[in-house]
A and B are shown apart, each in its own frame.
Chain A
Amino acid sequence: MKMSWSKRQKFAGYLFIAPNMLGIIIFFLIPALISFVVMFTDLDFLSKAPVNFIGLDNFARVFSDETFYTALKNTFIFLLAVPVSIAIAVFLAILLNNKIYLKPILRAMYFMPYITSSVAIAFVWSLLLQPTSGPINGFLRSVGLADPPRWLASTETSMYGIDLIMVWYTLGFNMIIYLAALQEIPTELLEAAKIDGARAWQTTLRIILPLISPTTFFLLITGLMGAIKTFGLIQAITQGGPGDSTVVLSLFVYRTAFSYYELGYASAIAWVLFVIVLVITAIQWVGQKKWVYSN
């Protein structure tokens, strides 16, 4: 049987995306769908006990579980790192986009954290943030702060300590994306502004920032999604401690599933997490019409 040209074209197209699609289907879609079924059950990882459909019991448990609310609060504190990192990245990118010395070296330096292993990051930052003997608090004391924060050693500050590390970690990536966006700004616009007598801050505020707003939107949306799912960094730095002060939702899911083996309950929490991501993304999607520039 002979295929028509357009059919053959289509077939070739599907063939090209097949490896990727297969990967997504096997490793993502099917597990996700299975977890959608599992969340209505009391499935345990090891137990051979019969599996029961327990309807919405897992969800009732999620919303009465105090660890869930702690994790939710911690997750939102953790998300603060995303806008902060983006704001600093814009500033650095604009700076680096000008003529300055050692530009390539600086660029590489800012990007380094992003390609560093999270275990190494955890180790170095634990030392830096040591409350009594660490260099950061040493500096804070030397500039006159008598009682500097105890960072990762206190339940009140540990989440902010993690935020600090997260900002440092994601800064380089955000900055590189912004640098690319800045290259796209037509030079004639900037020249015209100059001729009209605009000052540097006016150019930045009125021309550059609006023109790179699609990038900001992209970074915000992917950054928030990425941050909500972040697990490895926190697991390596504090493992959720001290106490439960850095247990975020992803860590809570992991623990429930892989320390306590309660797969049904963990699936339920994971889907609640999914809904939270969905809502946050939807809000941004609606909100972007107000501030994102498009041609």
Chain B
Amino acid sequence: MSEETRKGLSRRKFVALTGSALVASGILAACGDSTATSAPAGNATPAGATAGAGAATTAAATSGGAVKLQMWGGVPAESGPQKVVDNWNAANPNIQVEYVRFVNDDPGNLKLDTALLATQDIDLFMNYATQKLQKRVQGGLVLDLGTFKDLDIEAKVGDLAKPWQIDGKYYTFPTNIAPAYYWVNKSALDEAGLQSPALDWTLDDFKNYALKMKKGSRWGYVPWEIGTLYAMIDNSFGYVYTKSDGTSRYDDPLVKKTLQTIHDMMYVDKSIIPWGEQTSAKLAVDATFFKNESAMLGAGAWIFRSSNNLKDYPHDFVSVFATVPRISSDQTSYWQPITLGDALSISAKSKHPQEAYQFMKWYADGGMIPLTAGGRIPASKDINQDDAVKAMLGGNDKMYDLNTVKSVIFNKNPPLTSYKALDTQVADMIKEEVEKYFVAPNGNVDTTIGNIVRRHNDFIKSKK
């Protein structure tokens, strides 16, 4: 509070002042009233745990006995979440959960943030990126899970949870393991006389594989999104993007090597579809892979949703899994991405935090199993991993190379316990610059890197 008075106006005061200034200027008294009342509602102090159980009983009385909870998530209801809440609702007649889907893109997250800010309807919600969670915590929208004394997140999911801490506190319970990896068509490997890629394969190996497996109208590789094309940079940096002197790290030779190799694959080898065509055609990437129009696919676990759906994505080849290649064999550090996702949080304004917490624990400890067929591997140690594998493969064991399922998807790589994700502005800027390079057949990699470094440094300076 003292901080507030010293440095400037608080948000609430600010909005209220703006509102009353409008009234004073005689715009329209009646409307000024409405601004003034809506302002505190949008900025109410988080109910926190103090609202607690007392509020639950009062609300329970109004809704015919059962407490109603609302959970927002990004997975389509029919791909598991509906089954999850149906299971819960059947077992818990006193706590009924309703699932609301938001699309996990910018407009979708804006919708969630607005609802969190302006209403008290949401009790539980999913975070898919630490940057988004951080914003929500800064806005006081998220309940600190430290208030639940019996919860030990690291005991449940291990050190992998650490990157989800904000200022040393847990505001969220990461529920699934989300490794990134490549899907490879085994028939294409066999045709080209290639073995499954080694766990420590390099960018040059990858280039070679793509070139050998491209054939006729089949590309060598297709990325899920543009970021997939240069994810090995993040892995090499271990998610540390600045040097010790605080300046951008993007002038590292590994960055140049990555961008240039991918560019060559598009325009020299022609083993990757030129990015401009992929993005302007809004290519359905998973369909491309399963229709055998690309031998490799850079994506992750969510492809199981399509892969297990043999009706809409018929295919008869076995899928092999490969790690994201390292940039060069002699690089000293390379971190295979294994992160936790689907981080479940409780809204600070929830009227039923206790009930929401019960649901959260149940969800993480096995309630989420219906989502596993969509590739979501439960992170909790209390879940039998073999059961999870079985559920993920959806009875189609013959369609997957079980060796690489174990070595790549269920890998035992040491987790990276501290990282700070790139600011959204910087990540978008890098995407823009790389995209400009990838769509231009005569693009210049040095210009691209120069732009990235300059704009990154500008951003760092502007935040000081």
Contacts and interface: CB of A to CB of B under 8 A. Distances in A.
A131 B14 CA distance: 51
B383 interface: no
Contact of B280 (A45, A48, A131, A258): A131
Interface in A124-141: 126-127, 129-132
B155 interface: no
A222 interface: no
Contacts of B3: 50
A30 interface: yes
A53 interface: yes
B435 interface: yes
B424 interface: yes
A46 B22 contact: no
Interface stretch (A35-43, A81-89, A164-172, A280-288): A35-43
B136 A46 contact: yes
Contact of A242 (B106, B110, B138, B276): B276
B260 to A, nearest CB: 18
A153 B439 contact: yes
B27 A47 contact: no
Given A41-B14, A130-B280, A241-B279, A261 B135 contact: yes
A100 interface: no
A150 B276 contact: yes
Given A33-B27, A38-B18, A130 B277 contact: yes
A51 interface: yes
A258 B112 CA distance: 12
Given A50-B10, A52-B7, A25 B28 contact: yes
B398 interface: no
A198 to B, nearest CB: 49
Contacts of B428: 255, 259
Given A153-B439, A241-B435, A51 B277 contact: no
A22 B274 CA distance: 52
Most B CB contacts (10 A, CB to CB) among A48, A49, A53, A66 go to: A48
Nearest to A235: B107
A153 B274 contact: yes
A243 B435 contact: yes
A14 B157 CA distance: 65
Contacts of B439: 153-155, 242-243
A245 interface: yes
B18 A37 contact: yes
A30 B35 contact: yes
B305 to A, nearest CB: 22
A274 interface: no
B9 A242 contact: no
B395 to A, nearest CB: 35
Contacts of B378: none
A1 interface: no
Contacts of A22: 31
B141 to A, nearest CB: 7
Contacts of B35: 30, 34
B440 interface: yes
B8 interface: yes
Contacts of A45: 113, 117, 139
Given A47-B135, A127-B281, A242-B275, A33 B31 contact: no
A115 interface: no
Interface in A40-69: 41, 43, 45-53, 61, 66
A243 B433 contact: yes
B381 interface: no
Contacts of A46: 113, 117, 135-136, 138-139, 141
Interface in B409-443: 424-425, 428, 432-433, 435-436, 438-440
A155 B27 contact: no
A152 interface: yes
B11 A50 contact: yes
A155 B436 contact: yes
A123 B440 CA distance: 23
A50 B282 contact: no
Nearest to B141: A46
B4 interface: yes
A126 B277 CA distance: 10
A17 interface: no
B34 interface: yes
Contacts of B274: 153
Nearest to B274: A153
B11 A129 contact: no
A151 interface: yes
Interface of B: 3-4, 7-11, 14, 18, 21-22, 27-28, 31, 34-35, 43, 106-107, 110, 113, 117, 135-136, 138-141, 274-277, 279-282, 424-425, 428, 432-433, 435-436, 438-440, 455, 462
**4 tightest Cβ-Cβ pairs between the two chains A and B:** A153-B276, A46-B139, A243-B436, A152-B280
Given A38-B18, A47-B139, A48-B138, 12 more contacts: A25-B27, A30-B31, A30-B35, A34-B18, A52-B9, A130-B280, A153-B439, A242-B275, A242-B276, A259-B424, A261-B113, A261-B135
14 contacts: A37-B18, A49-B138, A50-B7, A51-B8, A130-B281, A242-B275, A242-B280, A242-B435, A242-B439, A243-B432, A243-B436, A244-B436, A258-B107, A261-B113
Interface of A: 22, 25-26, 29-30, 33-34, 37-38, 41, 43, 45-53, 61, 66, 123, 126-127, 129-132, 150-155, 238, 241-245, 255, 258-261
